[in-house]
């Protein structure tokens, strides 16, 4: 059986939200606001929320800071995954990955196809693991953020999701860093 097992204990994770935009502010950023509300409604903790310009160095610096922060378990980004010249989120973030979570892109596109059809091919949504921190890069539209959170990420960040979830892996993510490994 797969899905949420309500008899199990829920474990909140600490999630940082990063929006890439040259034009949005915290007051006008609807996709980041949507993510924050959904994260909180799911019972998780919003560890931080920032907006940075579509600049590779700025994006990489902020994500790197959160990877190094023991109070951040997960980073979710919104924006910059398209095909235009300013869309550089994957180029900024994927070099930080220790491991790529290939299945995320596949599943995100399946879910997105149900909403936007073939337009999903214009997204380069990606996810990975960097020094024990999960990172998910979503497109910047409200629809993509809702699809990505509601139908993919939220389920894998729910410790009650069976047969498995990402939360149960968290204690073992840095095993290679332990003495003797």
* pLDDT tens for each residue of the chain, 181 residues long: 689 999 999 999 999 999 999 889 889 999 999 999 999 999 999 999 999 999 999 999 999 999 999 999 999 999 999 999 999 999 999 999 999 999 999 999 999 999 999 999 999 999 999 999 999 999 999 999 999 999 999 999 999 999 999 999 999 998 876 565 4
pTM over 0.75: yes
Give domain status of residue 175, yes or no. Answer: no
Number of domains in the chain: 1
Sheet with 14-20, edge to edge strand ranges: 45-52, 14-20, 74-78, 133-138, 126-130, 99-100
Q: Report the C-alpha gap between 44 and 28 in whole angstroms.
A: 23
The verdict on residue 121 lying in a domain is: yes
**The domain that contains 70 carries what CATH number?**
3.40.980.10
Cβ contact 128:97 at 8 Å: yes
Structure tokens at 15: 């999630």
For residue 177, tell me if it sits in a domain.
Answer: no
Q: In whole angstroms, what is the distance from residue 167 CA to residue 134 CA? A: 10
The answer to whether residue 27 sits within a structural domain is yes
Q: What is the pLDDT of residue 179?
A: 60
Q: Which domain holds residue 162?
A: 12-167
Q: Is residue 176 part of a domain?
A: no
Whether 129 maps to a domain, the answer reads yes
Q: Is residue 23 part of a domain?
A: yes
pLDDT at 1: 67
Flag whether 5 is in a domain: no
């Amino acid at each position: 059986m797969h899905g949420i097992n309500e008899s199990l204990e829920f474990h909140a994770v600490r999630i940082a939200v990063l929006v890439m935009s040259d034009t949005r502010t915290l007051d006008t950023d609807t996709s980041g606001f949507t993510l924050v509300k959904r994260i909180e409604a799911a019972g998780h903790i919003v560890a931080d929320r920032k907006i940075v310009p579509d600049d590779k160095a700025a994006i990489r610096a902020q994500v790197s800071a959160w990877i190094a922060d023991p109070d951040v378990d997960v980073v979710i980004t919104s924006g910059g995954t398209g095909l235009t010249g300013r869309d550089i989120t994957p180029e900024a973030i994927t070099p930080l990955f220790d491991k790529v979570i290939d299945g995320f892109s596949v599943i995100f596109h399946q879910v997105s196809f149900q909403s936007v059809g073939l337009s999903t091919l214009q997204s380069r949504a990606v996810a990975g693991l960097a020094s024990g921190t999960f990172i998910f890069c979503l497109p910047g539209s409200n629809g993509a953020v809702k699809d990505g959170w509601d139908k993919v990420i939220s389920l894998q960040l729910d410790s009650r999701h069976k047969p498995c979830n990402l939360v149960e892996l968290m204690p073992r993510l840095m095993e290679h860093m332990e003495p003797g490994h």
